[in-house]
Amino acid sequence: MTTTPSPLISPTTSSSPKPLRPRQGVEALAKSLASPNQPPHRAIQNDAVGTRAIWSLEYYTKFFDVDTQQVVDRCIKSLYPIDNFSEVLGGNPDLYGPFWISKTVIFVLFVTSSMAGSLAAKMGGKTYSYDYGLLSYAVFVIYLYGFGTPLLVWAATKYYGCQPSLLEVIDIYGYGLTVWIPVSILCVIPSDIVRWVFVTGGSGVSVYFLIKNMLAILSRADAKTSRFILIALGVAHAVLSLLLKVKFYSYSIKEETGKGDGQ
Amino acid sequence: MDDTDLAGPLLFCLLFGVFLAFAGKVHFGYIYGVAVLGVMSLFLILNLMSEGGVDGYRIASVLGYCLLPMVVLSGLSIIFGLAGYIGFILSLFSILWCTYASSGMFVTVLGMSEQRFLVAYPVGLFYACFALMTVF
């Protein structure tokens, strides 16, 4: 239970002591008796914590205040986007999810792509060498999409007066990347049509999740702007899906030439 | 976790490096680099996610002591090579054992009981780097 500090009993921060009215004094006494463990000035200090310096670690602790069940819940809700994601976030957007999901997606992309490549090379009877350039490419693309795009979207919507919350936009994009983990694992299957099916399916789920949740923010702008931004979001997502498909999921058995890798 | 004893962890890291050297891989620099980077990043994560803070020496101490299954794995890699399925299963088992132990300790002491898996994931990646060094 929280106690609000009475203006009287604030020894260090109030500039001039206010005269004590009888009722105020009784209230102050009652409050200080009710929570004997918390000295009155602590509440004021706790209020001041909200304005911690942006370069101290404590400022960022409020972005990591999630537990396992919440993170898992948010990931599953992004794969099955029926609920409104703002309700799922519950006013507590976190940075843990986007950060670790993007790292995992990069890792899974690289590993499954290498596996598919070596599988294709084995079935074609050729040797395969790991292409670490793919890893750098994955890092660049996923971090750009997972953190750069939300920043751009947030700036644009802020300019048009939608009052977005940066953390919520980062969360929508970050958790929206979850779908690429199962898609990557399934795309090891060495059939191009199957891969196209999986990529299209995953991309569809992800773009539905994205647009459904961005609509809530975008509806606060006027209709023409919000439609334009929505189309831009959709195009960006389509570009990402095509890039991932072409660069990572395109291994096929080539018998004619010695190329067993890449497009 | 009350005392920040670093003698054990340093001994385990040295033993790990020596066993790897016996198996033909000289990776002392990698061990040092991964250990320092891992402790730094775990310092960030644990301080961001827990109520109270924790200092780097305690993290290094816990991570170092929980490296013991990995040291056993590298000892085994001298006797028989870890390529193939049996090596994969053994390394997976060692990673899981190390991660289970260290995440349990972190979570108990810092009072983060609901966030065990969130802590275990980075710690697991840390130990997976050591396992990769042992196997490849």
Q: pLDDT digits over A33-45, tens only?
A: 554 555 555 545 4
In whole angstroms, give the CA distance from residue A206 to residue A201. 9
Of B47, B48, B117, the CB nearest to A68: B117
Burial B86-111 (b: 16+ CB within 10 A, else e): ebeebbeebbebbbbbbbebbbebbe
* A145 vs A163 pLDDT, higher one: A145
Query: CB-CB: which of B48, B117, B122 is closest to A61?
Result: B48
| Max Cα–Cα distance, chain A, nearest Å | 96
Q: Search chain B and give the residue with CA nearest A66.
A: B115
Residue of chain B minimizing CA distance to A57: B48
Nearest CA to CA, how far is A67 from chain B (Å)? Answer: 5
Cα B98 from Cα B122, distance rounded (Å): 12
pLDDT in tens, B56-112: 899 999 999 999 999 999 999 998 888 788 888 999 999 999 999 999 998 888 888
Which residues are CB-neighbours of B119 under 8 A, at least 6 positions away?
B45, B46, B49, B103, B106, B107, B112
Q: Which residues of A touch B44 (CB under 8 A)?
A: 57
Structure tokens that stand for A101 in this block: 């999901």
Task: Give the distance from CA B49 to its chain's centroid.
Answer: 20
Work out the number of other CB atoms within 10 angstroms of the CB of residue A107: 17
Within 8 A of A71 by CB-CB distance, chain B residues are 118
- Chain A residue whose CA is closest to B125: A104
SS3 content of chain A, % helix, strand, coil (to 5): 70, 0, 30
pLDDT at A261: 38
Are A187 and A115 a contacting pair, CB within 8 Å?
no
Measured CA to CA in angstroms, residue A52 lies from A2, A94, A134, A192, B48 at distances of 20, 18, 40, 53, 14
Closest-approach residue (CA) in chain B for A67: B115
Q: Decide: residue A120, CB within 10 A, 0-12 exposed, 13-18 middle, 19+ buried.
A: buried
pLDDT at A64: 81
Q: What pLDDT is recorded for position B27?
A: 87
Report how far residue A5's alpha carbon sits from residue A17's, in angstroms, rounded to the nearest whole number.
Answer: 14
Residue B114's closest chain A neighbor by CA? Answer: A67
> Do A57 and B116 make contact, defined as CB atoms within 8 angstroms?
no
Measure in Å the smallest separation between the Cα of A186 and chain B Cα atoms: 22
Residue A5, pLDDT score: 47
At A38 the pLDDT is 52
Nearest Cβ partner of A69 from B49, B114, B122?
Answer: B114
Q: What is the ipTM of this complex?
A: 0.77
In percent, the amount of chain A with pLDDT more than 90 equals: 8
N residues, chain B: 136
Which is nearest to A100 in space by CA: B134, B135, B107, B49? B49
Q: What is the 3-state secondary structure (H, E, C) of B75-133?
A: HHHHHCCCCCHHHHHHHHHHHHHHHHHHHHHHHHHHCCHHHHHHHHHHHHHHHHHHHHH
- The whole-angstrom distance between B113's CA and the closest CA on chain A is 9
**Is residue A131 classed as helix, strand or coil in its secondary structure?**
coil
Summarize the confidence of residues A1-26 as an average pLDDT.
49
Of the candidates B47, B114, B122, the beta carbon closest to that of A67 is on: B114
CB contact under 8 A, B116 and A96: no
pLDDT band at residue A30 under the 50/70/90 scheme: low
CA distance B46 to B37: 14
A interface with B, Cβ–Cβ < 8 A, is: 57, 60-61, 63-69, 71-72, 96, 100
Q: Provide the shortest C-alpha distance from residue B49 to chain A (in Å).
A: 5
B123 against A41, higher pLDDT: B123
In this structure, chain A runs to a length of 263
**pLDDT at site B21:** 93
Task: Tell me the per-residue pLDDT of A58-103, one tens digit each, with 9 for 90 and over.
Answer: 778 778 888 888 888 888 888 888 878 887 777 788 888 888 899 8
Q: What percent of chain B has pLDDT over 90?
A: 50
